[in-house]
Amino acid sequence: MYGQLTTARPAGRPATVPSGSDTTEEAVSGTTPDGPVPAEGQGATALTARPRRTRRLAALARREAPRTGLAVVCGLALGLAFPPYDLWPLSLPAVAGLSLLTRGRGARQGAWTGFVFGLPFFLLLLKWLHVVGWDAVVGLSVAEALFMTALGAALALTSRLPLWPLWTACLWVAEEWARDRLPFGGFPWGRLAFAHTGSPFTPLAALGGAPLVTFAVALAGALLAACAAALWGLRGNGGLRRAVPAFEAFGLAAAVTLAGLAVPVPTKADDTANIAVVQGNVQQAGMDFLGRPMKILDNHAAATEKLAADVRAGRVKKPDLVIWPENSSDLDPFQYPQAYDRIDRAVKSIGVPVLVGALVDHPSKAGYVFNEGIVWDPKKGPGASYTKQHPVPFGEYVPFREQLSKIITRFQRVPRDFYPGNHTGVLQLGPARIGDVICFEVAYDEIVHDTVDAGARALVIQTNNATYGRTGQPEQQLAMSKLRAVEHGRAVVTAATSGISAVVSPDGTVTHQIPEFTRGVVSARIPLRDETTLADRVGAAPEWLLAIVGLLSCAAAVVSGRRGRMKDEKGQQ
């Protein structure tokens, strides 16, 4: 049997090729001197399959091009809603646009739409990272856009359910919930709430924090989409009665948008404190902002000593406390006596406690540092401190350092990893019990909430934005401070090395501000409050509830789709 070639044959034809046949060996074996011979029918298939596939892909690309282009436009519109552009009304048509573009689509189509919506949005929002490198901008934007990909798929799935605008709003909260936590502790930049720090939606933060603001914005946008979809369905066959759903959706969108104006924002002070915020400035912007050693420390110490001279001369009122920004001491004062002495002289000159920002060597782990805010008393010297709990991955520490540093040499510019703190930043600073939050931590709900819950009567954001000066990042971070002020009913003091240093009242209004790259001192009287907002009392419960509802709506859509297919199959039988 092994010596014969078995083939399918017409009746009466022998099963083997007889010896002496005029059929060549190459034909029998299926080969030629130039290579294999395709079986009958396979040649045409092989030759035409690739062109057909190419034509199908080209037809698909042409068909999806308008939808893809509209998704890109909507993503850019959402980016313009955020600082430094501050065109917050654009967030509503942007959300509505994504809802319409995914409505009635399959999950894969929705995923693509979500990705091409999210990528330009994050590229515009995070372009300040170009200081590090445009590859960092693109890499982080792609990573964040993947969450929008999942959102787009979920929106497509739930768009056929009743009350779909409600599920859309819940899914936006679920997407932000995931993005705020994953990976490496998450990156909350670009939450809808952070575009609404001075809009009718803002007061809602006092009820349910940033998640409730996001929910309201997404719900208003989805209702606008429902209105547009209803109006589109009337074309050529419209009547006043059939237009009622469109009017209802628009009315609900307007009601959701204006609902925040009815929310009281508590601002009454239980006590007050006179503060001074020192912005010493840096030698230069960018990655090498530090300049020569002691330069930044000298800037802040000199500005504080000038403030002390103005106080002695009666030109300004003596503050109860002074706040320096993150990294205001560019040397560890406990390792470098000259840094310790320079701080001590400045603090003694003003005669009140100063909150100093410094990087401090870890006492037992070589190669690790603490990013700290230190209470420096004019008589007792350094005392209580707060250590940043959430260092920035790839900026303040490098995950998988040993492996990644071999591939990406830029990580060598982060020579030491920041070690996270393990407690909140509630500190007694003179007469004020303040809550210290360092830099990017202002973006994380739980860190700010826990600080207020631990007894902070006012919030201080120590930050160093010198790397990203004049890129729009300082404005984005200040917007977060404004939202936190309303959310927790606390004055928020932002102290930045190079700007923007500012004082925000509990209603979210900026009362004092120092421009970027300007040495200056802000003197202000801030309220100290003990009363908590509803958002403080409920904590993360609204976010979890809304996110779970969003995920359950996806499950309901999947089950509903399967039942529909089963009914169709039974009907065909």
Active site members: 326, 388, 439
Q: What is the DSSP letter of 536?
A: H
Secondary structure in 3-state letters for 283-352 = CCCCCCCCCCCCHHHHHHHHHHHHHHHHHHCCCCCCCCEEECCCCCECCCCCCCHHHHHHHHHHHHHHCC
CA distance 413 to 411: 5
Q: Which helix (H) or strand (E) holds 356?
A: strand 354-361
Name the token pair of 525: 């009287």
Q: How far is CA 305 from CA 308, 315, 337, in A?
A: 5, 14, 19
Q: How many CB atoms within 10 Å of residue 317? A: 12
Tally the residues of the chain. 573
**Which strands form 458-463's sheet, in the order they lie side by side?**
426-429, 432-438, 458-463, 492-496, 501-504, 510-514
Is the CB of residue 384 less than 8 Å from the CB of residue 375?
Answer: yes
User: Which DSSP string corresponds to 102-164?
Assistant: HTT--HHHHHHHHHHHHHHHHHHHTGGGGGT-HHHHHHHHHHHHHHHHHHHHHHHHHTTSTTH
CA distance 221 to 254: 10
Half-sphere exposure of 61 (CA within 13 A, CB side): 6
- Radius of gyration of the chain from Cα atoms? 31
Beta bridge pairs of residue 504: 492, 510
CA distance 401 to 328: 27
Q: How far is CA 93 from CA 70, 80, 126, 154, 379, in A?
A: 12, 12, 21, 19, 57
Helices 205-233 & 244-259 angle (0-180, nearest 10): 160
Is the CB of residue 533 less than 8 Å from the CB of residue 204?
Answer: no
Q: What is the DSSP letter of 411?
A: G
Is the CB of residue 393 less than 8 Å from the CB of residue 185?
Answer: yes
Give the amino acid at 65: A
CA distance 539 to 324: 30
